[in-house]
Amino acid sequence: QAVSAQGFITTESNPTQARSNSCLIAMPPLTARADSEALRNLGLDETFFQRVLQPGLVNGSGVQHDMAPDYDIYLMEKGVMPLLLQGLDALSRHVDKLGHGGGLSGGGKAPFNPLTWLAQYLLRNHPAKVKDHRTPMYQRLGELANIERGRRCLLRRKSEMEQQWHEMSEDQSPIALEDVPLYLHRLDERWNLGGAFVQQFPADAYRMIRSSDGDLKLPFADFWDWFEGWVRQNDVLRASAFDVAARRKEEAERQLKQAREELEHHERVMQEVLEVRRDLEEEFASLSADLYTSEVITQIINKGAVIQGLEEQEGGPPLQGDHIHLIVAMLRLWGFPAAESPSEDVWDETASSAWAQWLEVHGPVGAQPRVDSVSLRVLMDQDAFQAYLAIAHPAPEFDAGDEVQRTMKVHNILVGEDDDIDVVVEVVDEETGERKQLVLPEAQVEEVRRRLAASTGVPVLARVDLFSQRVTSILPSLA
């Protein structure tokens, strides 16, 4: 069946019968004035709303009965109950007219069907479809329903509130009155409401509560008596706030899970990068040690000998030997491997070309196209090699912030105070007390040693990179 444009019920399968029925159950439209007067007489206001509510849906302990869903609120917020009452009122007036012989229905071939008439009325006047003088009334009843749903939502959380109360006290003992604001804050955090709950209470809310024995210590039962009354008298929180909080929590958990997965991936990739760096650093340290012990390299560094061109100079370093093999191997670590050569211990065109390329990118400013003490020291400089590794094998991008870069206090120098390649210092994270051993760049050794020996009581603070396990800079003294 469908409602026709004139407001009559029609049946497509039997038009003749439909025309007969329409003559019998036609509804004469009421005037706007009659509608308004009938609506006022029904008294669909806040008093009506409170009469419809079922107070037993939340029992005295704040727990919802198993067989008591909030059907009363649903009927009010959807406009079903007020619309049904209007329909019953209109039906009673229509039946009264029929009894006095008025109207178009009641004397025809088919008996009058009040259920069909009422269904017609509900369809025609559905609040979601009809916007008229009754719309503000529906909106107000819907607002009252939202307020009541929020009240029940709070009162049904009594067990959670009592648990939080006992977590703040010792052995389920009363808590101090002045701790009530803190208790409300913790409830707000527990429910992930972002302050929406605690903001509904005045700062001195605890002054309104009275302990049953007049003491400054408050048992939960006395607090609940006050809280229940406060909630029933005020629009404290809507149920939608808990829905928003639940979605916010789900989103936070999703982001946390995603962040953990990204962190795990980052840590795996970072571990791979660290392993590559570590292997290269170990090989660099081994080659550096061999270079420092090579007699020919010592001549170049300390006595001014040079390797220039492809022909051996009189009195100069030989162009074949272990020292050439070490230089070529070091160039390979720097990313400038010599092209395939019959022998890696010969200074030939491929080795000379790799050296020239390295000089152009990493060599000292104004360096001559030769192997001399200045350029060889740079080739063997660990800090310079670390800087190269950071570029050649960068850490994976990750917004770790202060988790990787931190400021720590330098406690002392552990090793490397003589001629060792690495100088290791012990640093302390003053927030956590965690101690770490990190590499200190050679350029900062003298300053750290001097400031530690000064005994002024001023801490030596350093910025450290936990990824590379190195001190990146020494902060200026605060003295």
Per DSSP, helices labelled H in 13-99 are: 15-25, 32-42, 46-52, 71-77, 80-99
CA distance 368 to 360: 10
| Per-residue pLDDT tens over the stretch 253-311 | 888 788 788 878 878 888 898 899 999 999 999 999 999 999 999 999 998 899 988 88
The one-character DSSP state at 318 is -
Please identify which residue in the block is written with the tokens 């370093």.
317
Q: What is the pLDDT of residue 380?
A: 93
Cβ neighbours of residue 142 closer than 8 Å, sequence gap 6 or more: 76, 77, 78, 79
- CA dihedral angle for residue 139, residue 140, residue 145, residue 147, rounded to 10 degrees: 120
| Per-residue pLDDT tens over the stretch 164-214 | 998 888 766 788 888 888 899 899 888 888 888 888 887 777 677 776 666
Please identify which residue in the block is written with the tokens 């931190």.
406
What share of residues in the chain are helix, strand, coil (percent, to 5)?
Answer: 55, 10, 35
Cα 438 to chain center, whole Å?
33
Q: What is the pLDDT of residue 8?
A: 32
Token output for 42: 């029904």
Q: What is the pLDDT of residue 436?
A: 86
The separation between the first and the last C-alpha atoms of the chain, rounded to the nearest angstrom, is 92
Exposure pattern of 337-372 as b/e (b: 16+ CB <10 Å)? Answer: ebeeeeebbbbbebbbebbebbbeebbeeeeeebbb
Q: What is the pLDDT of residue 129?
A: 86
Q: What is the pLDDT of residue 333?
A: 93
CA distance 324 to 331: 11
Q: What is the pLDDT of residue 318?
A: 92
Cβ neighbours of residue 106 closer than 8 Å, sequence gap 6 or more: 24, 98, 112
Strand partners for 407: 463
Task: Specify the long-range contacts of residues 400-406, CB closer than 8 Å, at least 24 apart.
Answer: 400/266, 403/466, 404/465, 404/466, 404/467, 405/463, 405/464, 405/465, 405/466, 405/472, 406/463, 406/464, 406/466
Q: Which residues of the chain have pLDDT under 70?
A: 1-36, 38, 41, 54-69, 101-110, 171-172, 206, 211-214, 341-342, 397-404, 415-421, 467, 478-479
Strand partners for 346: 320
Backbone angle region of 415, left / alpha / beta, with phi > 0 → left and psi within -120 to 50 → alpha: beta
Please identify which residue in the block is written with the tokens 């060792």.
420
Do residues 375 and 414 make contact, with C-beta atoms less than 8 angstroms apart? no
pTM over the 0.85 mark: no
Cβ neighbours of residue 443 closer than 8 Å, sequence gap 6 or more: 383
